[in-house]
């Protein structure tokens, strides 16, 4: 029999799918909640879902987080030990084109999760934040102890808002919450709007790739298995409040309330051109590069300080990009039936 029941919102999404697989393999019962929206190809989400539904301990609810009555019924039907909230409208650039989607999904949706947790208290609410919250920060590496009050995209602002909302509910209702700031996640079954997917597809089709900031950007690319391992370890590491926290010198990463923040990143920024070269080597093909200036909402570099993660749960993400890119491309060629 399953040991614990976990709600995973965004279970048909990239990280939600991989996390659900890991939890199921480790004897958890997983309730997946997803609206299968068309931000990118729905068939990819359906493929992930098909694999999850083969497991007898996976239950799926097709629904939107803005549907409060459905969410309330879900929390009433299952007594969740843990809630992992990954569902969100993703994408920095898309937030400039379609800002209302971020208010509706990322803020209203998260409020409904918090309210559901308030009435049906889980042991721990873990939710996805993002490295984008560091915004205009220049001090490297990015630390959860740094102030993050200068976002430069609405997506980043929505994730920072989630952290503030979580703290409010932790303080008011003693809901243990942990926010995880993910750094540029990639891997098999990844999102088609992410760089590795776009680059691989274009190179195989002989089309040019857009290389922003003339290839000088650096990203802390983090393989999805490392993200999932981090989430899994954090799940049982329930915050209880920091007895040493002081409002006179407030540490942004913790609180008097049962609230905590962590970075999950590879702790090794990679220049975009080197990332592209690694893809080229794996494919045995050269990319046609269209060099462009920095895009609105982008930052020149991300670099995760993961000391708190190491100290709390003894885990450091460490998958080299050569390994991660190799696994992604092997999956891509197999999934799309491409013979080289």
Tell me which residues are annotated as active site: 155
Q: Which residues contact 21 (CB under 8 A, 6 or more apart)?
A: 51, 52
Transcribe 118-185 into DSSP letters: HHS--SEEEEEEEGGGGTT--SSSB-TTS-----SSHHHHHHHHHHHHHHHHHHHH---EEEEEE-SE
Strand 270-271 to 218-219 pairing: antiparallel
DSSP bridge pairs for 271: 218
Q: Which residues of 90-102 are buried (b: 16+ CB within 10 A; e: fewer)?
A: bbbebbeeebebb
Neighbours of 16 (CB within 10 A): 26
- At a CB cut-off of 8 Å and minimum separation 6, what does 223 contact? 185, 186, 187, 266, 317, 319, 323, 324, 327
Side-chain-side CA neighbours of 312 within 13 Å: the count stands at: 23
């Amino acid at each position: 029999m399953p040991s614990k029941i976990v709600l995973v919102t965004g279970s048909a999404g990239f990280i939600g799918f991989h996390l659900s697989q890991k939890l199921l393999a480790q004897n958890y019962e997983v309730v997946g909640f997803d609206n299968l929206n068309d931000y990118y190809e729905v068939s990819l989400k359906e493929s992930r879902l098909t694999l999850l539904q083969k497991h007898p301990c996976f239950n799926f609810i097709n629904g939107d987080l803005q549907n409060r009555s459905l969410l309330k019924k879900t929390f009433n039907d299952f007594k969740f030990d843990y809630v992992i909230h990954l569902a969100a409208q993703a994408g920095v650039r898309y937030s400039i084109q379609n800002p209302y989607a971020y208010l509706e999904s990322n803020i209203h949706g998260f409020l409904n999760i918090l309210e559901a947790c308030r009435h049906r208290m889980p042991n721990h609410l873990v939710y996805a934040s993002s490295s984008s919250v560091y915004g205009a920060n220049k001090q490297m590496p990015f630390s959860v102890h740094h102030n993050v009050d200068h976002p430069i995209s609405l997506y980043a602002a929505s994730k920072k808002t989630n952290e503030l909302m979580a703290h409010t509910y932790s303080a008011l209702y003693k809901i243990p919450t942990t926010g995880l700031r993910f750094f540029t996640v990639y891997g098999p079954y990844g999102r088609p709007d992410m760089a590795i997917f776009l680059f691989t597809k274009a190179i195989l089709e002989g089309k040019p790739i857009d290389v922003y900031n003339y290839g000088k950007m650096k990203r802390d690319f983090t393989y999805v298995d490392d993200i999932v391992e981090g989430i899994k370890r954090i799940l049982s590491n329930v915050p209880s409040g920091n007895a040493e926290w002081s409002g006179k010198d407030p540490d942004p990463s913790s609180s008097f309330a049962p609230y905590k923040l962590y970075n999950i990143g590879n702790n090794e920024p990679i220049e975009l051109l080197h990332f592209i070269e690694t893809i080229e080597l794996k494919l045995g093909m050269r990319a046609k590069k269209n060099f462009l200036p920095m895009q609105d909402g982008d930052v020149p570099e991300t670099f995760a300080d993961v000391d708190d993660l190491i100290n709390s749960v003894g885990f450091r993400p460490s998958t080299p990009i050569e390994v991660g890119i190799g696994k992604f491309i092997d999956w891509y060629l197999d999934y799309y039936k491409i013979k080289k």
